[in-house]
Structure 1
Amino acid sequence: MEMFSPVGDQLRAEEMKEVSVFEVKKVRTGEKRRRKDKGDPADLDGYMGPWREYEDEVKVSKPTPEQMVILDEQFGEKLKAKEKKEDDTITESTILHVENPCDYLGRSYLHIRQDLDVDLRTEEPPPKCFSPKKLVHTWVGHTKGVAAIRLFPHSGHLVLSAGMDSKIKLWEVYGERRLLRTFVGHAKAVRDICFSCKGTRFLSCSYDRYIKLWDTETGECLARFTNKKTPYCVRFNPDEDKQNLFLVGCADKKIYCFNIDSGEIVQEYDRHLGAVNTITFVDGNRRFVTTSDDKSLRVWEWDIPVDMKYVAEPHMHSMPAVTLSPNEKWLACQSMDNTILVYGVHNNFRLNRKKNFKGHMVAGYACSADFSPEGSLVVSGDADGKLTVWEWRTTRIVTRFKAHDSVCISCLWLPHETSKVISCGWDGKIHLWD
């Protein structure tokens, strides 16, 4: 029990003033700070009123207009020097990891092989697909986590990986499964990558606020673009006659359309209320769908900066990953409430309530899902590093197994295989499952 002396109690009583039975107000010690005289209210220019200054107030002098000009010049030079220094440090280079990138006929690694058990040139998917069961191969090369993987268009004989170590790597899927080339040119982690329709070029966007165009075969950086905003996703226009245009979804809530030939922004789509996470082309590439941190889904006509469809319900969560089905009729959206929601492309983007895939844990992570080539199975990674496979018709879980030591952020089904899936995770590894 705390004890007080009579002298201490008296001093404390002098310091405290009783306002009521339940309140005690501390008495202010020392002199109160005085304000200047408010002046005569009749004097409009001299009257200061309740806004008058304190007598002991010290003013900080403002620079004169001449001094402001000098300061602006000095700070402007420092800012330009800083930007130039940042540009100078980002030098693009490439590393070839194979002795000879061409075969005995002089064909580069972009050439689609024909000496395999599976025909990589056909457009027909396998008649029936099955869930993968065992690990076949592991690609190791990234020193940090892998953020995204992309298959070579149509054939899928090459896989491109974007790493958090700011490097991009190209790997063989068939044969010796070698590391072919490393692309170095970003100062920070690479967020997203995208092949052109023929695969000869690809785009990469990074947290260093640059979007870069690369030659897949030579490794040369063909162009660099920036709008001083952090890009979250990048997509080529899939049409062959529009390969000089690409879209970038940024953290400033806007979608920008860049022209590769001029290097300028030719269109802005500014309707979202949060950072743009995904861009997906639908309906014969005449329209594209975007999702954002504002928990909405918007549909746009190409080159028209007003959304034609806006989907936002009170129960909706953010959807940071979207995948188009092989028949282009459905959009599988990874929702932050640990479900995969399905929207119909041809029925005015209405939610299909019968197709609701659950059982995995993805809250807080942009884990992308994918379809089997004929559309009978859906596969997705999760925050625990597991791969989950569902049956499309019944939404029943077919299999679930541990794939990575950390978050399994992306998975892709090989377009001509019945059960081969490539997955990547934040443990820096890329796995091939069969």
Structure 2
Amino acid sequence: MSSLVAYDNSDSEDDSSDQQEKRLSPAQTAPFEQNQSPNAPMLPDPPTSAMDQMVSGYHGDTLSNYHPQSQSLSQSDWRSFSRRQEKVVMDCTSPSMTHWNIPSVQTPPCIQKSFSLVSNSTKRLQNVPSDVRPYISKRRRLSTSVETEQKDDPSEPDHGSQSREAPILSNVPSKLAPYLGQKPRAAKIPRRLLMSLGGHKGPVNTVQWSPVPQFSHLLLSASMDKTFKVWDGAASGRCLRVYTCHSGAVRDACWTPCGQQLLTASFDNTAAITDVETGQQTVKLNNEFKVMCVALHPSNPSVVLCGGYSSAVKAWDSRSCKVMKVYKAGVQQTLDILFLRGGEDFITSSDCVSRDSADRTLIAWDYQTTAVLSNQIYNERYTCPSLALHPLEDTFVAQTNGNYMALFSTQRPYRMNKRRRFEGHKVEGYAVQCEFSLDGALLVSGSSTGSAYFYDFHNARLLHTLQAHSQPCLCVSQHPVLPATAATCDWAGEIKIWH
């Protein structure tokens, strides 16, 4: 009487249905058409069967609305009917339909052909090569986009994206918290490797800890790979932010006094101030020359000095992005800029070297009048790639390519102390930086041999040599809060934390 019919997208069933269609005569199909013959299988009374509801389509069209002898349909009717039959096939082959007791119904030929077309199109889609993208209907594309939005719903957080977007200026690591309320301890020399950070693809020119005590676990690095990064250098060692604001190598970088912005100098002829959290450039200063060094005015952080491949040093107002002052000298390149205490004077280091002396290698400037105060500070025939100011005393040091650090007075006429110099390391043309500890007791320097050198400032005695890298060590930065903690970087792009 009635049998369970399972619809499958298979060739065997399509062939059997075609053979059954050939055996049917008009006399046999007429009772189905009128649903009045006692020999024809009867459909249940309303409510109609599930099969009838599925085949009914969008507007309640039953199978009897299509005459079996009408083998051709109009183009619009055929398209709408094909869409309906595709839904019928998908519903009939779903697992939820396997337990329904559906009476066997003789399907009209036009319906059988539509089933066969849908089945063949499904098989063709399965055999499509991987490099050919099949057509996807608009309805299915919309449903896919809705599913994607639901997966990306912020109510179901993704731990990976959460770590990338987490604020970096809000949480104080537990390792740093015990030292925040205490007085700064005496500087000590680090002895062992704490962690190694290898995220840069080019030489790292400088590393610097954040000057704000509660954010001093953040470590800034600037590299020749056109990026500068902020790391968690005290706890996890993770890279918290990568900044790609420059199109050229980043030659110099430093924190602003508030610890929420970064000042960078690049070979793309610009200096920029970037927000630490968002990574957006708030200020961009176009100097029209490759910028090698930048410095912030100590009492007015909105003033930025930029020097580089030019005979002039420019002073910018970062609020209006306009040049305030220009300091001109007969040099080809400015290597470093150092503001003296109070910000009334500053020192520039240049590459101007004559045969017998380094005339104009170090130049003292009056910030207000742009006048040269002295250009006879250092009279030896070595250039000075970096300068460092003592945090307590009226002195500063200059790293020289003579493989020693020279000591100078910050008071006019800025005389050099010839009885005290810090030597034993090699520079050999690299831009090796030097730095004082927070209490001024230690003076540290990198070297072209990859070692970090720790000197006693008061007697110029070498205290310890730390073999940090196999490539030239360009910078050593001591932590302002954690005792005996320092960061080093090298020419190969590696950063290491020592304790």
TM over 0.5: yes
CA contact (8 A) 1:129 1:372 kept: yes
Please show how residues 13-412 of structure 1 align to structure 2 within 5 Å: 99-100=162-163, 108-111=167-170, 113=172, 115-116=174-175, 121=180, 124-126=183-185, 128-155=186-213, 156-239=216-299, 242-294=300-352, 295=358, 296-346=361-411, 348-412=413-477
Alpha-carbon offset, residue 285 of structure 1 = 2.0
Alpha-carbon offset, residue 214 of structure 1 = 0.6
CA distance in 1, matches of 2:394, 2:161: 41
Kindly tell me the number of residue pairs found equivalent between the two proteins. 332
CA distance in 2, matches of 1:389, 1:173: 21
Bigger relative CO (Cα 8 Å, ≥ 6 apart): 1
CA contact (8 A) 1:361 1:384 kept: yes
Q: Deviations over 1:362-394 (max 9, x none)?
A: 021110111222222211110111111112222
CA distance in 2, matches of 1:114, 1:141: 22
Alpha-carbon offset, residue 154 of structure 1 = 3.5
Alpha-carbon offset, residue 101 of structure 1 = 6.7
Q: What's the TM-score, normalizing by structure 1?
A: 0.72
Identity, in percent, stands at: 25
CA distance in 2, matches of 1:132, 1:218: 34
Matched position secondary structure for 2:162: coil
Alpha-carbon offset, residue 157 of structure 1 = 2.0
Q: Deviations over 1:174-233 (max 9, x none)?
A: 222221000012222111112211121112111121222211111111232213211110
CA distance in 2, matches of 1:430, 1:98: 25
CA distance in 2, matches of 1:183, 1:252: 26
CA distance in 1, matches of 2:344, 2:171: 29
CA contact (8 A) 1:245 1:258 kept: yes
CA distance in 1, matches of 2:264, 2:425: 29
CA contact (8 A) 2:298 2:342 kept: no
Q: Deviations over 1:291-322 (max 9, x none)?
A: 11124212222232112232345424111101
Alpha-carbon offset, residue 137 of structure 1 = 0.9
Matched position secondary structure for 2:228: strand
Amino acid of the residue matched to residue 202 of structure 1? L
Alpha-carbon offset, residue 412 of structure 1 = 0.6
Q: Deviations over 1:14-67 (max 9, x none)?
A: xxxxxxxxxxxxxxxxxxxxxxxxxxxxxxxxxxxxxxxxxxxxxxxxxxxxxx
CA distance in 1, matches of 2:388, 2:374: 18
Matched position secondary structure for 1:99: helix
CA contact (8 A) 1:118 1:416 kept: no
Q: Give the structure with the higher percent strand.
A: 1
Q: Deviations over 1:225-253 (max 9, x none)?
A: 213211110112222xx332211012112
Alpha-carbon offset, residue 286 of structure 1 = 2.3
CA contact (8 A) 1:112 1:157 kept: no
CA distance in 2, matches of 1:232, 1:102: 31
CA distance in 1, matches of 2:402, 2:190: 26
Q: What's the TM-score, normalizing by structure 2?
A: 0.63
Amino acid of the residue matched to residue 99 of structure 1? Q
* Residue aligning to 2:114: none
CA distance in 2, matches of 1:302, 1:122: 37
Alpha-carbon offset, residue 117 of structure 1 = 5.4
Is the radius of gyration larger for structure 1 or structure 2? 2
CA contact (8 A) 2:217 2:233 kept: yes
CA contact (8 A) 2:377 2:416 kept: no
Alpha-carbon offset, residue 430 of structure 1 = 0.7
Amino acid of the residue matched to residue 384 of structure 2? M
Matched position secondary structure for 1:289: strand
Matched position secondary structure for 2:375: strand
Alpha-carbon offset, residue 276 of structure 1 = 0.8
Q: Which runs of 5+ in 1 are unaligned?
A: 1-95
CA distance in 2, matches of 1:348, 1:313: 11
Alpha-carbon offset, residue 400 of structure 1 = 1.2
CA distance in 1, matches of 2:178, 2:328: 43
CA contact (8 A) 1:282 1:328 kept: no
* Residue aligning to 1:423: 488
CA contact (8 A) 2:377 2:415 kept: no
Amino acid of the residue matched to residue 136 of structure 1? L
When residues 347 and 254 of structure 1 are mapped into structure 2, their CA distance, relative to the original with a 3 A threshold, is closer
CA contact (8 A) 2:378 2:416 kept: no
RMSD, aligned α-carbons: 2.2
Amino acid of the residue matched to residue 202 of structure 2? K
CA distance in 1, matches of 2:247, 2:412: 43
Q: Give the structure with the higher percent helix.
A: 2
4+ residue runs of structure 1 moved beyond 6 angstroms? Answer: none
Alpha-carbon offset, residue 418 of structure 1 = 2.8
Alpha-carbon offset, residue 100 of structure 1 = 4.3
Instruction: Decide which moves more: 170-179 or 335-344.
Output: 170-179
CA distance in 1, matches of 2:160, 2:330: 43
